[in-house]
Amino acid sequence: MEPVDLSTLMRGLIETYPNLHADNAEICVEGELPLVLANEALVTQCFANLLGNAVKFVPVGRKPHVRIRAETRNGGTKVWIEDTGIGIPKQAQSLLFKMFQKLESKYEGTGIGLAIVRKVVERMEGTVGVESEEGQGRRFWVELPVAQVPEQTA
């Protein structure tokens, strides 16, 4: 685990993945995202999956709108990926992070993306969760330790 700059990572994902480009989705990163203590490959996979889902699970014909923000306190950073998609019924949320759980059959996918997110976040000593209501979008969060930046000596 090493310090990972989430602002740089998110910009890279948005520039690299065609489904995240501005002509396909409106993605807003609020402010500067912090440095977190993480494995860069794992945290990249985590946020690629979450952003991919945020732009995929929207009603047909609607351009996805995604907001990324972070809040830091008590040595941890909670990164929020909020979308205006189809939402998730309360009774289905306990199944979300399990392998091969596909809640909506009309969208492509295998049902393993969120299970991978949970596994990689746990490997980095973090936690993941969701807040949602059917038809009201989704608010996924990932909490990771804040990276301690060494102080510069003069």
The verdict on residue 152 lying in a domain is no
From first CA to last CA, the distance across the chain in angstroms is 28
Q: Torsion angle of alpha carbons 25, 31, 37, 38, nearest 10°?
A: 10
Task: Report the SS3 class of residue 39.
Answer: coil
Residue 154 covered by a domain? no
Residue 150 lies in a domain: no
Q: Sign (positive/negative) of CA torsion 32, 140, 2, 4?
A: negative
Is 89 part of a structural domain of the chain? yes
Which CATH number characterizes residue 135's domain?
3.30.565.10
- Quickly state the pLDDT bin for 8 (edges 50, 70, 90): very high
Predicted pLDDT at 97:
62
61-107 pLDDT per residue, tens: 888 899 999 998 887 899 999 998 887 667 665 667 664 455 555 55
pLDDT at 148: 75
**Within-domain flag for 136:** yes
- The token pair that represents 132 in the structure block: 């949602």
Domain presence at residue 153:
no
pTM: 0.82
Could you tell me if residue 151 is inside a domain?
A: no
Question: What percent of the chain lies above the pLDDT cut of 90?
Answer: 34
Count of domains forming the chain: 1
Residue 48 lies inside a defined structural domain of this protein: yes
Residue given tokens 């998730």 in the structure block: 88
Could you count the other beta carbons within 10 Å of the beta carbon of residue 102? 13
Which is more confidently placed, 149 or 134? Answer: 134
Domain that holds residue 130: 2-145
Q: Per-residue pLDDT averaged across 44-56, rounded? A: 90
85 Cβ partners below 8 Å, 6+ apart? 54, 56, 57, 58, 59, 64, 137, 138
Query: Can you give the pLDDT at residue 126?
Result: 92
